[in-house]
Amino acid sequence: MTTKMDLWYARLVFRMDTEKRMATARKLASLLRNDFSLMDALNRLEAIESHGGKKPNEPFAIVMREWQKNLERGMSFSDATRGWVPPNETLLVTSANLSDLVVALENVSRVVSGMQRMRRAMLNAIAYPMFLLVLTFGIIMLVGIYLVPPLAEIAGENMLWTGMARSLIWMSEFSIQYWYVILGVFIAICVVIGISLPNWTGRMRTAFDKLPPWNIYKIQMSVGWLMSLSSMVAAGITMPDAMRMLADNSNKYLRNILEETLHYIANGANLGVALNNTGRDFPNSEIIGDLAIYADMNGFDENLGRVANDYLEESVRKMESVSSALNSIGILLVSAIIAWVVLGTFQMQDQITNALT
């Protein structure tokens, strides 16, 4: 018998094990493409995961059984899987018929894989520079609190410091008196930036979207949106409906952009023109131009998928270049701080020696 704890654990494992979840989606699509019914396909997958029924409480086996139960209650596949998979994946399998569901399942893996690449690129662009920034802060605090005061005590209060030694003394006094203010301001800035990324909208945000870290976040969101939109359109969902579904399930930042775009689409503009009319430069001017051209051509769903894939590759390369630039700046900053501390310490020692002799 499956307990509530088993269900909770199965849901947790299924959501966290992205690689196996995508493998399950590919297997399900393959079975459906080979003329299995949806219920039969899920039953086959459940038998595999439960080792022929010997291990019925395996997490993935439980998930397959729960999906079957939901389908037996008359739910659509997207409703049956809701809560078991991340919301963006639920959207991607919203399809009107079985053939479109096959396409949707095949696209889920492509979209999720693309987003994982983007997240890794984004983390690489942010994590190491943040580490270097924290390291710089730590060096300044340690030098100011533990290195400089003993040397200053040896020299005495009447010592007249000059050059870099004087700047180290000032930094030490400032660190001792206001370290908590510096730390508080640093944490506050990080919190404000973190809150602003998914929530801040408006024209001023458009200007900040050209600067890190907002530009990095914009790239990530635009790639996810474009890949999801292309997959939903390929699965038979009309473009306005797909846009509305994505807007309804997005954070405030992306929802604001998509709703503005939908306003212009409702007034007769195609996707590219509508994005351009928002004035948000989302995703960017080149993609907007491509979409404006392809929207009036035959085979828009195929062209949209091609644009999305190209944009993913371009964005990953851009993230890597941003990461490289930020890393170089961070390394130079840390090197400059260390050089300043070393030279300042030598000057303090020289001035103390001269004063004592």
> 278, 260 in Cβ contact below 8 A?
yes
Half-sphere exposure of 158 (CA within 13 A, CB side): 2
Residue 237 CB partners (closer than 8 Å, separation 6+) = 94, 95, 96, 245
Q: Is 85 helix (H, G, I), strand (E, B) or coil?
A: strand
pLDDT reported for residue 94? 67
Q: 344 vs 150, 350, 353, 355, CA distance in Å? A: 14, 10, 14, 16
Residue 60 CB partners (closer than 8 Å, separation 6+) = 10, 13, 14, 20, 24, 45, 49
User: In which band, very low, low, confident or very high, does the pLDDT at 96 lie, cut at 50, 70 and 90?
Assistant: very low
Residue 97, pLDDT above cutoff 70:
no
Residue 278, pLDDT above cutoff 70:
yes
Strand partners, 85: 82
CA 338 to chain centre: 33
pTM: 0.77
Average pLDDT over residues 133-143: 81
**Burial state string for 282-308 with b = 16 or more CB within 10 A and e = fewer than 16:** bbbeebbebbbebbeeeebbebbbebb
Residue 151, pLDDT above cutoff 50:
yes
Q: Determine phi and psi for 218, rounding to 5 degrees.
A: -60, -40
Q: Report domain extents, the chain.
A: 4-85, 97-357
Q: Give the number of other Cβ atoms within 10 Å of residue 210's Cβ.
A: 10
Q: 186 vs 120, 129, 133, 182, CA distance in Å? A: 25, 14, 10, 6
